Structure 1
Amino acid sequence: MTATLIVLLIIVALIGVSLALGRTSREAQAVRDDEFVELDGSWIRYRVTGQGPPVLLVHGLLSSSRIWEPLAKRLSGQFTVYSLDLRGFGESDKPLTGYGVRHGSRVLYAFCSHFRLNNAAIVGHDVGGDMVVKLAADHPEFARSVTLVAVPANEDQMDLPTSLWLATLPVIGPLFYVIGQYADFVRKLWLKPFVSDKRDLPEELMEDAAASVPAALRSTFNTVRREISRERVARQARHLQAPVLVLAGEEDQIVDPQAAEVWAGSAPRSEVAILEGCGHLPMSELPEEFSSRLLTFLAGNESGHSRRSSRAPREEASSGMPREVRDPRESGQDSRGIDGLEPDEEASAAETAEPPPRVSRGPVGRGGRLRRAGAARREEDDTGEMGYVPEKNESQEEEQARKQEESREEGPEGRQEAKPAVEPGEDPDSTRRVERQDGGGRPGGEDIIPELPDDLFRWSDVRKGRRRGRGEENGGGRESGERGD
């Protein structure tokens, strides 16, 4: 009995500790103006290097901007490379809430607005790629091109190792995460499936995995799975104006490589590359091949960047886009929500956000459906709110007016004059009878209604006499009555 009670007390104590750990948050330390910027109420760590057209790098789950350092050095010779630590990871603030695709895209919007990154080449890894898709779909002026690296398209394509999945559970999950924070061998169990060869596991990722908080991992994983369910974000990729490069590792155990086919079938202008012998981190496992493919893709879109950059000032002036934003709530910005999520927040977002313009993604076929060459399946036409108003047939109106003008010019010689509708002595009720003109029926001149007899509506003399007699009697009575009065 005593042993059972001790076990129960231990279990209760562990649950209490786990709940307390799940409510922990952490603020950024040693904030400096040249390294941190306050966006959407959180301090965000960022890095800038190089000079040239802008490139924005967005990391994924459990990592930080340090995962991009080798690629940033390679790109800095031709581009200005921006990278940031998303909320909850790296050196940025780690609050209890504010995670997922929608909140992440708001941070990216504020970041791009603050640094004026119009027509930037945006690269997103893992769940950061979903945030990039939503940003580019809602605000196409920011994206010159989009690169998706091992990005899940629905919840079934996203998985975690069992040891890491335990840290995402409610109640007991925070306890498993804290154990991994202090035990290196546990973190290695977490991250070993991220690469096809454990020797390619970057030390920076080991450190970043321990730098987060339980709420950030659990909320990000669970919220993103809910937001991308039934390919909600992938459907928004149909609105992308920018070209899309989809990269996936053939041996990826975290995100199913088949997700690349979903993105290719949704994005209007896309190309896919499957990297052989690569896992979930191609930027670390195959740095040379990855950077070469990315550079080739970015160089191919430089001509499009030069053409679009000349239109950027006019687009910004017409849309009223703020030039510099530290907190997107001050500018009234809020991205459009994902279908079916938090209707109260979606309503407030719809009042402040400017919806992206409808985009024609290819030739329009019959029925108003948009078709894309090489698509694996037909896309559904999701522009149902766009009403169609038929135009007036001006040729028919002109033809009718011309015929009326000719009939008036012909006069009595060209057509038969209509007979008076009422003849002397007829009852007024017969005034509704109108005789048809010759040729007014069928095209051949044959009248549909036969000729009616002239005396059809005439009253007989006897009937008329009776009506006159009644009228005289009534009139005489009235006169005599008036005299009597």
Structure 2
Amino acid sequence: MRPSGNAVPAARRPLAALDEPVRVEYRTVHGYRRAFLRAGSGPVLLLVHGIGDSADTWRDLIPVLARDHTVIAPDLLGHGRSDKPRADYSVAAYANAMRDLLGILDVDRVTLVGHSLGGGVAMQFAYQYPERVERLVLVSTGGVGRDVNPVLRLVSLPYMDQLMHLLRLPTTKVVGRVGAAAVRRLPLDLGYDVDDLLRIFEALPDAQSRSAVTRTLRAVVDWRGQVVTMLDRCYLARAVPTLLVWGRHDTIVPVDHAFVAHAAMPGSRLEVFEGSGHFPHHCEPARFLGVLQEFLAATQPAGHDTDAWRRLLRYGRGDGATDAGAHLADQALAQSHRTAT
């Protein structure tokens, strides 16, 4: 029996004492209701999910993290329990929304943990509001290079909303589940991600939800691949402790992007999970928690130096990256013609 909603499959949950209640809360921001999970006390972790997902992707990790931190995990606008208006679903708009929610909650500084699209939102937040960022944790993040799963390119095309509606028909859903079961038995990388991808798709209950997700996707992906990149400005985060986590078998954003991002961010730490796909926090939750907790304990929150920030803006990347790393990042950047704003 499959779990309902966006819950992490039971077999993949970490063994953790659920000693901290996780609350669903709501705030209205600019006239739209935003949902978020909150638990714990202490330094703040802001957990940001990916396209089509919700804060529930983190639900089984939150009680452990909340032992030492205040954990806030929002449903992005257009996702989960948050409102789904016809609105701006760009990465920059999501970063602004995170700022506004934190302002309402009286939170000044955070460690950002972003998965997939959420990683792009985390980097954009760090670019727009560097004085508010203590650390960055980017999990299978988007916004590195053009390559992305061809299915996402297809969904970004016009009129795909109608096809997504057809895929919601009962007969088609049954065929999809049977196909997913077959994929799990084959020695394919897709087997690592198929359960989560099916979970996300089945959690889109109506046309409004599907429209919001496709609008979000089209803000970052077109038929040629990803259309935004963090590579041209990620050097600005060189003073921020940064952890990159990727699954070796990621079928959505290839693991090659992990090495490009690592090369472009001098001082970052890279962890590649050999037994994971696009959702390492689901495939290997105990290891993910261990790596994240060790990183949080071993690093000090970044302090923002306005003068140093201005110098970086004036003179660019400078000599922080190795020659090989800079060349690798420059090659990837040359393949991306548009950048985040």
TM category, shorter: 0.7 to 0.9
- CA deviations 1:411-432 (Å, max 9, x no partner) are xxxxxxxxxxxxxxxxxxxxxx
Corresponding position: 1:213 with 2:209:
yes
**1:147 match:** 137
Corresponding position: 1:242 with 2:228:
no
For residue 376 of structure 1, the aligned residue among 325, 332, 340 is 325
Per-residue deviation at 1:148?
0.5
Question: What is the Cα-based RMSD across aligned positions, in Å?
Answer: 3.5
Aligned ranges 1:346-365 → 2 under 5 Å: 357-358=309-310, 360=312
Corresponding position: 1:223 with 2:219:
yes
**2:96 match:** 106
**1:282 match:** 280
Q: Any idea what SS the aligned residue of 1:233 has?
A: coil
Corresponding position: 1:293 with 2:291:
yes
Q: Distance in 1 between matches of 2:227 and 2:74?
A: 29
Identity of aligned residues (%): 25
Aligned ranges 1:122-137 → 2 under 5 Å: 122-137=112-127
Q: Specify every segment of 5 or more residues in structure 2 that has no aligned partner in the other structure, as ranges.
A: 1-22, 331-341
**1:414 match:** none
- TM-score, length basis structure 2: 0.74
Q: Distance in 2 between matches of 1:46 and 1:109?
A: 14
The answer on whether the counterparts of 1:159 and 1:255 sit within 8 Å (CA) in structure 2 is: yes
Letter in 1 for 2:319: R
**2:157 match:** 169
Q: Which has the larger radius of gyration?
A: 1
Q: Distance in 2 between matches of 1:194 and 1:41?
A: 42
The alpha-carbon distance between structure 1 residues 273 and 207, as it changes in their structure 2 partners (threshold 3 A), is: same
**2:249 match:** 251
Q: Distance in 1 between matches of 2:325 and 2:180?
A: 35
Letter in 2 for 1:223: A
The answer on whether the counterparts of 2:109 and 2:132 sit within 8 Å (CA) in structure 1 is: yes
Q: Any idea what SS the aligned residue of 1:36 has?
A: strand
Q: Distance in 1 between matches of 2:189 and 2:321?
A: 34
Letter in 2 for 1:213: S
Q: Distance in 2 between matches of 1:71 and 1:359?
A: 39
For residue 167 of structure 2, the aligned residue among 175, 180, 198 is 180
The alpha-carbon distance between structure 1 residues 248 and 53, as it changes in their structure 2 partners (threshold 3 A), is: same
- CA deviations 1:427-446 (Å, max 9, x no partner) are xxxxxxxxxxxxxxxxxxxx
Q: Distance in 1 between matches of 2:311 and 2:62?
A: 32
Corresponding position: 1:45 with 2:35:
yes
Q: Distance in 1 between matches of 2:57 and 2:49?
A: 7
Q: Distance in 2 between matches of 1:278 and 1:47?
A: 25
Per-residue deviation at 1:42?
2.2
The answer on whether the counterparts of 2:265 and 2:321 sit within 8 Å (CA) in structure 1 is: no
The answer on whether the counterparts of 1:66 and 1:204 sit within 8 Å (CA) in structure 2 is: no
The answer on whether the counterparts of 1:53 and 1:79 sit within 8 Å (CA) in structure 2 is: yes
- TM-score, length basis structure 1: 0.54
- CA deviations 1:7-39 (Å, max 9, x no partner) are xxxxxxxxxxxxxxxxxxxxxxxxxx9721122
Letter in 2 for 1:358: R
The alpha-carbon distance between structure 1 residues 289 and 141, as it changes in their structure 2 partners (threshold 3 A), is: same
- CA deviations 1:234-274 (Å, max 9, x no partner) are 22211113111111111011101111122212224311111
Letter in 2 for 1:220: T
Letter in 1 for 2:220: V
The alpha-carbon distance between structure 1 residues 66 and 220, as it changes in their structure 2 partners (threshold 3 A), is: same
The alpha-carbon distance between structure 1 residues 118 and 182, as it changes in their structure 2 partners (threshold 3 A), is: farther
Q: Any idea what SS the aligned residue of 1:376 has?
A: helix
The alpha-carbon distance between structure 1 residues 50 and 231, as it changes in their structure 2 partners (threshold 3 A), is: same
- CA deviations 1:87-134 (Å, max 9, x no partner) are 111011111231121211111121222223333111001111111101
Letter in 2 for 1:217: V
Per-residue deviation at 1:368?
8.4
The answer on whether the counterparts of 1:134 and 1:236 sit within 8 Å (CA) in structure 2 is: no
